[in-house]
Amino acid sequence: MTQSDSVDIRKPAAAPPGKDAGKDAGKEAGPIEPVSRTRAVVRRFRSNRSAVIGALLLLAIIVVTAAAPLIAPYGPAQVDISDRLSGPTAEHWLGTDTLGRDTLTRLMHGGRVSLAAAALAVVIATGIGLPLGLISGYFGGVVDWLLDRAADILMAFPAIILTIAIIAMVGPGLTTAMVSLGIVYAPRMYRVVRGSTLEVRREVYIEASTSIGTPHLTILRKRVLPNIMPAALVQLSFLLASALLAEVTVSLLGLGALPPTASWGSMLGQAFLEMRTNPSLAVYPGIAIAIATLCFNLIGDGLRDAFGRETRKAS
Amino acid sequence: MTFTKFTGAAPPAAEDGPLVDARGVSVVFRKRRTLAPARQVRAVNDVTFQIAEGETFGLVGESGSGKSTTGRALLRLVPTAGGTITVAGRDVTALRGGSLRRARRSMQMVFQDPYSSLDPSSTVAGSIAEPLLVHEKMSAKAARARVDELIEMVGLRASYADRYPHEFSGGQRQRLAIARAIALNPRFIVCDEAVSALDVSTQNQVINLLERLRAEFRLTYLFIAHDLAVVRHISHRVGVMYLGRIVETGPAERVYSAPAHPYTRALLSAIPDPRRKTERIVLEGDLPDPANPPVGCPFQTRCRFVMEVCRQRMPEHTAVDGGGEVACHLQTSGPALSGASLNELDVNSRP
Amino acid sequence: MTAEGKTLLEIEDLHVDFLTDRGWTNVVNGVSFDVGEGEIVGLVGESGSGKSVTSLSVLRLLPSGYARTPAGHVRYRGRDLVGMPPKELRDIRGNEISMIFQEPMTSLNPAFTIGDQIAEGYRRHKGGTRRAAFARAAEMLDLVGIPDAGSRVRDYPHEFSGGMRQRAMIAMALACEPKLLIADEPATALDVTVQAQIVALLARLRDETGCGILFITHDLGLVAELADRVVVMYAGEVVETAPALDLYDAPKHPYTAGLLNAMPQLGVRGRELPTIPGRPPEPWRMPEGCRFGPRCGHAGEECAAVPALRTVEPGRSSRCCRIEQLHLAGSP
């Protein structure tokens, strides 16, 4: 009963580790749970049916839209005046629009533009919000106070109004619209990252790094950043969903994608003009937007649940 | 490197003064409040003690006594509001920025909660290699070899290096935290409740490990704990803290067998003992509000020997027979023990 | 089982499974013991031994989707709580059986005064006016030794210290005069001095109100001082039951002996501290035969068979199949 694992300590430390199985005999048995953390998160995500459906569907959408120039039956701007506003036919599965352009083709090309636009806005929001949130949450003090007030002010306006205001200053166009939206979304990413950093900042392992003498930037990069990533990723997928909807709004108002470029938003905008005569035109882009948004939200929920259960297990 | 069997002999005599010298150290926390003046708490108040090289100094007290803050102040993890701290001949209170960061390599800490002191998103190799990469500028390969060596040194298998902290039990995590603390061959380690969160049998494994490392690498420990039995086992000398002040110091044997401060005696009697012969002294009430400590002796509100003088002024530190010091008016007033232990007083009678 | 008085709580062959990443995993395996009226029973074990799970399953407080009780009975005064309809169970919970948890801060609602929270539980079970319930709350706070209880009853939890919060929790648990109090590590997070106060308080309450107490802890010293009888758990099973002092003087299971031996003593410094080698097995990787076998210094060939808990002396039982050949030392 009283024997201990003292033997191990007395071994010359220089011995090559892990070579001799016999010398490990006195050591403690394997770790409690040989399941890597990332793998556990992935497995929990995969066991969440709606999240998996969302992810697969989104993957399909991305593949189809990315490959649009190769697989689309027509050109996106290919006009056929003789075959305007046709319903679904063998040549045009989803019919044509007022200029006789193939709706399926435009949906595929439009998805490319819409998804890329949403991604651009979120990349910009993250590029601004993530580093500022890290700095604000980690260092605190005056910088934190100023940044936090700035975020308060930006978030006091509805996102879309603010975006339109910025577009009004810079001029319309999908790229400028999405850059504006990125700036408007930056406080949302900032808030989440700052809050998460504030929590991580109080963890003992951060104090441990300080006591080692690790420089602040290294602590931020190697200790804080990996631990706020779950929160940032979840926020990222929700922001993508909102950015996709925002693209619709600005394009609908004619401030986003300019003709003849197809985007889901601009398609919906044009269909909106024909609402009285051809209500069916709005159906397909509407469905595409709804499905893609749902995908992002399902993935966000799935990620949140998968990460959320990472918290300490009950004894 | 040969292993020297730890014998429990007296600590090696200090040649050039103590390794750690804390003089009059104070730490003040300010808590800003809206619509009210800031609350000021002297968490550590005029604390003085020395630790010789190779010695273990135990610091005991209730939560809120300032023992953890004292440990953090020695390592400059909280700012000091007064006093000087010398570690290995260098005044660490004067260090700033880069020079402070470089000085940290010789003084390390083992934290209480093994579940949060290792970064959950990093492999244990990543955590243990951190000091090596920061201070030694080692190559990744060299650092990895050293990490494997360290993990073996604390009694685990090197093959565990690529696993994540959540895969380990509390005791194993604490061993890994110790591996990180000794990575740079520090001279001084603060163990802040390093075994409190562990089960009894695991606790002893970790204490034995700390003792072996101390003997092997001539480490100096400040061992902070609320468990008096554990402190007794590992410490050469002991300091008892109450409300931010050290009320008694002395060789562990003397403090435990002949406590000179009523608080020390109450703490000792609170240790569970099914075959208790003496009646347990149950301290009434709680710690006074540290933001608003009583005038005079901090222990007066709970002391069964309280005298008039205790409510008027702070007792001086006086020498105790058998070594150490105590801050108690009983030494000079009332029964005037003048160095004798409290055992000289009949417990059940008031002076 | 109990020498005097009637059986209050009887746990029989209790099994509990948890849903983990590896599917359903057994964590409590056939636990049986009982608590008599006015008796203090200590349930001891290291973390992961299943002691808390056992205590939580008495009042069916385990999360239903993640835990299940495939077999076993928990009888309170002869009524089986395992299959009881939720409505009936609610009448027993907090009324006849009360529970105290380890974390006094998280168990109290920060938005309500201490008095409101004690009064609320009292009114739910006993009815009466708000005023009467509030008076009862003040009375209970006074009983658990909160000074100036009449005015502190209007304080919020954050105005109480850790020790006072734990006492408030005890006051809340006692307001309905329960017959059985389940205390899950009630003193673990507290200082030794406060721990001493809480233990003294529980002993006094038993003497004054005559309630039975199931006291869950990992601290053998604490349990031996407070409890009449001790149940030791290891790896989801009961390995030994005995009157507290007998257990302390002459353990009848190598695991208990190891725990006693490893208890921090006010001994000589420098000696290497005794330990139990290795650590408890994971629930999904239980050893064949005796679950303590791989860590036991006394293990023999017969330990490869699954040992049963059996009576070794009147009032004492052990799961060690070699106990007759062993002479285990008690606490030094």
* pLDDT tens string A211-269: 999 999 999 999 999 899 889 988 999 999 999 999 888 888 888 777 778 888 888 88
Over pLDDT 70: what percentage of chain C?
95
Task: Name the closest residue on chain A to residue C278, using Cα atoms.
Answer: A28
The pLDDT score that the predictor gives to residue A3 is 36
- Work out the minimum CA distance from C268 to partner chain B, whole angstroms: 6
Question: Residue A44 has which token pair?
Answer: 């929990």
Q: Determine the Cα–Cα distance for residues C289 and B171; give it in Å rounded to an integer.
A: 26
Contact residues, chain A, for B192 at CB < 8 Å: none
HSE toward the beta carbon, residue A262, CA cutoff 13 A: 24
The amino acid present at B57, given as its one-letter code, is F
* pLDDT tens string A171-204: 888 888 889 999 999 999 999 999 999 999 999 9
Q: Determine the Cα–Cα distance for residues C201 and C206; give it in Å rounded to an integer.
A: 9
Q: What angle do CA A133, A134, A138 make, to 5 degrees?
A: 115
Range(s) of chain B covered by CATH 3.40.50.300 = 20-31+39-235
Residues C219, B9: C-beta atoms closer than 8 Å: no
HSE toward the beta carbon, residue B10, CA cutoff 13 A: 4
CA A298 vs CA A37, A52, A60, B94: distances in Å: 22, 8, 15, 55
* pLDDT tens string C214-254: 999 888 888 888 899 999 999 999 999 999 888 988 999 99
Token pair 């339109």: residue: A164
* Chains touching C by CB (3 or more pairs below 8 Å): A, B
Is A258 in a helix, a strand, or coil? coil
* pLDDT tens string C81-93: 988 898 888 888 8
Phi and psi angles of residue C279, each rounded to the nearest 5 degrees, phi first: -150, 170
Q: Which residue has the higher pLDDT, B305 or A72?
A: B305
Token pair 């709706």: residue: A103
Selecting from C21, C52, C275 the residue whose C-beta is nearest the C-beta of A4 gives C275
Question: Average pLDDT of B160-166?
Answer: 87
Question: Residue C16 has which token pair?
Answer: 């509990």
Token pair 């740079």: residue: B184
Q: Does domain B20-31+39-235 have CATH number 3.40.50.300?
A: yes
Question: Residue B27 has which token pair?
Answer: 């730490």
Question: Residue A161 has which token pair?
Answer: 């109004």
Residues 6+ apart with CB under 8 A from C147: B285
Selecting from B122, B135, B149 the residue whose C-beta is nearest the C-beta of A226 gives B122
Over pLDDT 90: what percentage of chain A?
37
The pLDDT score that the predictor gives to residue A7 is 30
Tell me whether A311 touches chain C (CB under 8 Å).
no
The pLDDT score that the predictor gives to residue B81 is 92
Structural contact between residues A148 and A135, judged by C-beta atoms closer than 8 angstroms: no
pLDDT level of residue A166 (50, 70, 90 thresholds): confident
The pLDDT score that the predictor gives to residue C268 is 57
Sign of CA dihedral C250, C253, C259, C262: positive
* pLDDT tens string B76-95: 999 999 899 999 888 999 88
* pLDDT tens string C294-318: 998 888 888 889 999 999 989 899 9
Tell me whether A37 touches chain C (CB under 8 Å).
no
Q: Which residue has the higher pLDDT, C107 or C39?
A: C39
Among C219, C113, C221, C96, CA closest to C165 = C113
First to last CA, chain B: 57
| Pairing of β C97-100 and β C180-184 | parallel
The pLDDT score that the predictor gives to residue A4 is 36
The pLDDT score that the predictor gives to residue B342 is 79
Contact residues, chain B, for C218 at CB < 8 Å: 199-200
Residues 6+ apart with CB under 8 A from C35: C2, C7, C8, C9, C41, C180, C212, C213, C214
Tell me whether A215 touches chain B (CB under 8 Å).
yes
Residues B283, C268: C-beta atoms closer than 8 Å: no
- Give me the numbers of helices (H) and strands (E) for chain B, helices first please: 9, 12
The pLDDT score that the predictor gives to residue B274 is 65
Cβ pairs bridging B and C (under 8 Å): 123
Distance of CA B231 to the CA centre of its chain: 9
Cβ pairs bridging A and C (under 8 Å): 38
Structural contact between residues A111 and A288, judged by C-beta atoms closer than 8 angstroms: yes
The pLDDT score that the predictor gives to residue A18 is 33
Q: Which residue has the higher pLDDT, A259 or B133?
A: B133
Q: Where are the domains of chain A?
A: 47-308
Selecting from C48, C254, C279 the residue whose C-beta is nearest the C-beta of A1 gives C254
Q: Which fold would CATH assign to domain A47-308? A: MetI-like fold (1.10.3720)
Over pLDDT 70: what percentage of chain A?
86
Rounded (to 5) percent helix, strand, coil in chain B: 35, 20, 45
Task: Transcribe C101-124 into DSSP letters.
Answer: -S-TTTTS-TTS-HHHHHHHHHHH
pLDDT level of residue B276 (50, 70, 90 thresholds): low
Contact residues, chain B, for A215 at CB < 8 Å: 101, 134
pLDDT level of residue C265 (50, 70, 90 thresholds): low
Among C272, C235, C190, C215, CA closest to C100 = C215
Question: Average pLDDT of C166-182?
Answer: 87
Task: Name the closest residue on chain C to residue A310, using Cα atoms.
Answer: C21
Contact residues, chain A, for C277 at CB < 8 Å: 3-5, 26
Contact residues, chain B, for C297 at CB < 8 Å: none
Residues 6+ apart with CB under 8 A from B209: A9, B154, B155, B175, B178
Q: Determine the Cα–Cα distance for residues A196 and A232; give it in Å rounded to an integer.
A: 9
* B243-257, B282-296, C114-128: the lowest-pLDDT one: B282-296
- Going along chain C from its start, the domains and CATH numbers come out as 38-70+86-96+179-332 (3.40.50.300), 105-177 (no CATH)
